[in-house]
Amino acid sequence: MDTLEEALAYDAIDHAEVNRQFVGDLLDQLPGSGPVLDLGTGTARIPIELCCEEPEAEVVAIDLARAMLRVAADNVRDSGLDGRIALERADAKRLPYADGAFSVVISNSLVHHAAVPDLVLREAWRVLAEGGLMFMRDLARPHDEIALAHLLEMYAARASEPQRRMFADSLRAALTFEELQVRIERLGVPRETARPSSDRHWTWCTRKTRCSG
């Protein structure tokens, strides 16, 4: 999604309820103040929602797509949050930050865009400080096309054809819940820290300790 047209089309999709749910669940776990890193921020709707709900929150929000960051900059400015949300172009597979640089690492719907999800998960874990919170959520791939068609009917029946196609492609590209568990175990993190969180999402929520990676 590195054209302005694609970024604007993505931003036009109504993710408000999903974003509110993500931020609400995050705030239930948030371990006080500290720098937050948002991976794959897109048009920055999650950081904006977080900063509106948590007055002390400060976020470094990264994305690799210039067009997304362009729309994100407009959204952040329009929300009056320029001083609390820093937008940076960076690759989640090769983060330009030191080990343990962030107290909180979050991501919503990034992993299914990665050709090698292991690299994103590993880098996210690397830059998380000891004792910090990892909170990731993404789509879970349906086990067959019948289940995928059901999700499309449930959640995209009124969407435009390009939006339906985008949702279907994203579901097909996502990890299954079991595939996610295998990958976080490779990081030395218990698989039980990941769980299904809806009929189409998984959530990985854990704190980083010396015995977990």
Amino acid at 200: R
Q: Which two tokens stand for residue 28?
A: 């239930």
Q: Helix, strand or coil for residue 160?
A: coil
- The C-alpha atoms of residue 184 and residue 9 are separated, in whole angstroms, by 32
Q: Where are the domains of the chain?
A: 4-140+175-207, 141-174
Residue 125: C-alpha distances to residues 4, 132, 133, 140, 173 (Å): 31, 10, 10, 20, 22
pLDDT tens figures, 142-169:
999 999 999 999 988 888 888 888 889 9
Report, as an integer, the average pLDDT of 14-40. Answer: 86
Distance CA 51, CA 26 (A): 12
Residue 6 — very low, low, confident or very high, per pLDDT cuts 50/70/90?
A: confident
- Does pTM surpass 0.85? yes
The CA-based angle 74-39-135, given to 5 degrees, is 120
Q: How far apart are CA 200 and CA 147, in angstroms?
A: 10
Using DSSP's 3-state secondary structure scheme, residue 49 falls into helix
Torsion of CA 106, 19, 40, 119, to 10 degrees: 50
Beta pairing, strands 128-139 & 201-207: antiparallel
Pairwise CA distance, residues 176 & 167, whole Å? 16
Say yes or no to pLDDT of 187 above 80. yes
> What is the percent of the chain where pLDDT is above 70?
93
The hierarchical CATH code for the domain 4-140+175-207 is: 3.40.50.150
Read off the pLDDT of residues 103-140 as tens digits, 9 standing for 90 and up.
999 999 999 999 899 999 999 999 999 999 999 999 99
**Among 6-10, 74-78, 184-188, where is mean pLDDT lowest?**
6-10
Q: Tell me which residue of 103, 94, 105, 107 sits closest to 129, measured CA to CA.
A: 103
Contact between residue 107 and residue 50 where contact means Cβ atoms under 8 Å apart: no
Q: What average pLDDT does range 60-84 have in this prediction?
A: 93
Instruction: Catalogue the long-range contacts made by 187-190 (C-beta closer than 8 Å, 24 or more residues apart).
Output: 187/121, 187/122, 187/125, 187/213, 188/212, 188/213, 189/125, 189/213
Radius of gyration of the chain (CA): 16
Full 3-state SS string of 119-156:
HHHHHHHHHEEEEEEEEEEEECCCCCHHHHHHHHHHHC
